[in-house]
């Protein structure tokens, strides 16, 4: 299994197109950091404008607000919407790309079981996804910490603001990145499933993005019927649950409780649903592939 996985990783990481995603992330993170470095005050004012009616903020408070943790949070919020496209570039290509190149038939006439072949292919896509996320974490979190420094982190919520002590932030980021890895693996699993049905990688990539767009629209619509019956089961509803790690509990006096998470059960439920999707997508992909006639 390990030898096969090494082959798959060699195929992914020796391919120039793999680095398009790494380049895109680098460019976006750099541009956001540059913009906030040059005009961070306007961004903070905009951020606080919704709350300014009920709260008053001192200039000292505002100056502390723009730090590496908040910048990373802003980057993650923006980038995790774009990441599915970058993930599907590789996962959607994993089987369809081989079929298109004509290497699928050469691989499947070797003494390797189709189930094993699929598992290895999927694991390679997951490793790529995690590598992409680690790259983003290094640039967005550690890069922003270097550029903007660290301080307490303030998170805006519809109910007000949560202030998290600087010493209480880092583990939340690790948890959030871990959750994001599962969320993006769900996308990888979907693209991987669609890849089984196609003989070129464009189809699965476009189909993956189309499904995400439709599901996201459904997730965002405020229609009672959808709220109760459909939204809770759409994977897109649970993709952004990583933010829950930055929502904290507070005492009756309004003081945030260090190490707390406002709604851990909701995060765990979302995580379970995403894991269910991953298992379902991969199981169907393997089941279909085992029966498939290879005509490419």
Q: How distant, in Å, are the alpha carbons of 160, 213, 219, 269, 273 from that of 237?
A: 22, 12, 5, 12, 10
Q: Which residue, 93 or 152, is less far from other proteins as judged by CB?
A: 93
- Of 52, 113, 170, 213, the residue at the interface with other proteins (CB under 8 A) is 113
What is the SS3 assignment for 275?
helix
What is the SS3 assignment for 194?
helix
Q: Which residue, 3 or 60, is less far from other proteins as judged by CB?
A: 3
Q: How distant, in Å, are the alpha carbons of 60, 122, 125 from that of 267?
A: 34, 25, 24
Which among 86, 83, 104 is positioned nearest to 94, based on CA atoms?
Answer: 104
Number of residues that bind other proteins (CB under 8 A): 24
Tell me: does residue 16 bind other proteins (CB under 8 A). yes
Using the contact rule CB under 8 A, the part of the chain among 101-109, 127-135, 174-182, 251-259 near other proteins is 101-109
CB of 83 to other proteins, least distance (A): 24
Tell me: does residue 38 bind other proteins (CB under 8 A). no
Q: How distant, in Å, are the alpha carbons of 37, 137, 279 from that of 43?
A: 10, 22, 40
What is the distance between the alpha carbons of residues 139 and 157, in angstroms, rounded to a whole number?
25
Using the contact rule CB under 8 A, the part of the chain among 28-36, 99-107, 198-206, 276-284 near other proteins is 99-107
- Of 1, 35, 101, 257, the residue at the interface with other proteins (CB under 8 A) is 101
Which residues make Cβ contacts (< 8 Å) with residue 102, sequence separation at least 6?
296
Tell me: does residue 105 bind other proteins (CB under 8 A). yes
Tell me: does residue 20 bind other proteins (CB under 8 A). no
CA of residue 236 relative to chain centroid, distance: 11
Tell me: does residue 124 bind other proteins (CB under 8 A). no
Using the contact rule CB under 8 A, the part of the chain among 159-167, 193-201, 243-251, 288-296 near other proteins is 288-296
**Would you say 75 and 32 are in contact if contact means Cβ atoms under 8 Å apart?**
yes
Residue that has been written with the tokens 């599901």 in this structure: 215
Q: Which residue, 106 or 279, is less far from other proteins as judged by CB?
A: 106
CB of 14 to other proteins, least distance (A): 6
For residue 140 the two structure tokens come to: 């967005």
Tell me: does residue 216 bind other proteins (CB under 8 A). no
Which among 108, 124, 122, 111 is positioned nearest to 290, based on CA atoms?
Answer: 108
Tell me: does residue 107 bind other proteins (CB under 8 A). yes
Tell me: does residue 102 bind other proteins (CB under 8 A). yes
DSSP-derived letter for residue 142 is I
Tell me: does residue 158 bind other proteins (CB under 8 A). no
- Of 1, 20, 27, 112, the residue at the interface with other proteins (CB under 8 A) is 112
Tell me: does residue 115 bind other proteins (CB under 8 A). no
For residue 162 the two structure tokens come to: 């949560």
CB of 187 to other proteins, least distance (A): 25
- Of 111, 224, 254, 265, the residue at the interface with other proteins (CB under 8 A) is 111
Tell me: does residue 1 bind other proteins (CB under 8 A). no
**Would you say 241 and 271 are in contact if contact means Cβ atoms under 8 Å apart?**
yes
**Would you say 140 and 75 are in contact if contact means Cβ atoms under 8 Å apart?**
yes
- Binding footprint of other proteins on the chain (CB under 8 A): 3-4, 7, 10-11, 14-16, 101-103, 105-113, 291, 293-295
């Amino acid at each position: 299994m390990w030898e096969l996985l090494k082959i798959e990783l060699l195929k992914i990481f020796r391919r120039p197109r793999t680095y398009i995603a790494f380049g895109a992330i680098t460019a976006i993170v750099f541009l956001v950091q540059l913009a906030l470095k040059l005009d961070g005050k306007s961004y903070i004012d905009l951020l606080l404008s919704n709350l300014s009616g009920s709260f008053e903020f001192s200039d000292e408070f505002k100056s502390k607000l723009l730090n590496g943790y908040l910048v990373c949070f802003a980057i993650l919020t923006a980038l995790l919407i774009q990441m599915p496209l970058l993930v599907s570039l590789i996962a959607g290509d994993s089987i369809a790309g081989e079929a298109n190149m004509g290497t699928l038939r050469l691989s499947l006439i070797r003494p390797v079981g189709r189930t094993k072949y699929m598992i290895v292919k999927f694991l390679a896509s997951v490793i790529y996804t995690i590598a992409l996320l680690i790259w983003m974490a290094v640039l967005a979190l550690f890069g922003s910490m270097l550029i903007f420094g660290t301080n307490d982190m303030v998170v805006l919520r519809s109910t007000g603001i949560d202030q998290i002590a600087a010493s209480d932030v880092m583990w939340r980021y690790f948890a959030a990145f871990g959750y994001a890895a599962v969320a993006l693996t769900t996308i990888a699993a979907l693209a991987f499933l669609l890849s089984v049905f196609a003989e070129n990688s464009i189809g699965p990539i476009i189909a993956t993005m189309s499904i995400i767009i439709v599901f996201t629209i459904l997730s965002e619509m405020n229609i009672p019927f959808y709220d109760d019956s459909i939204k809770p089961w759409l994977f897109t509803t649970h993709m952004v649950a990583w933010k829950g790690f930055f929502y904290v509990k507070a005492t009756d006096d309004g003081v945030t409780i260090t190490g707390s998470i406002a709604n851990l059960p909701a995060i765990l439920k979302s995580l379970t649903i995403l894991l269910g999707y991953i298992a379902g997508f991969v199981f169907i992909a393997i089941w279909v592939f085992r029966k498939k006639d290879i005509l490419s």
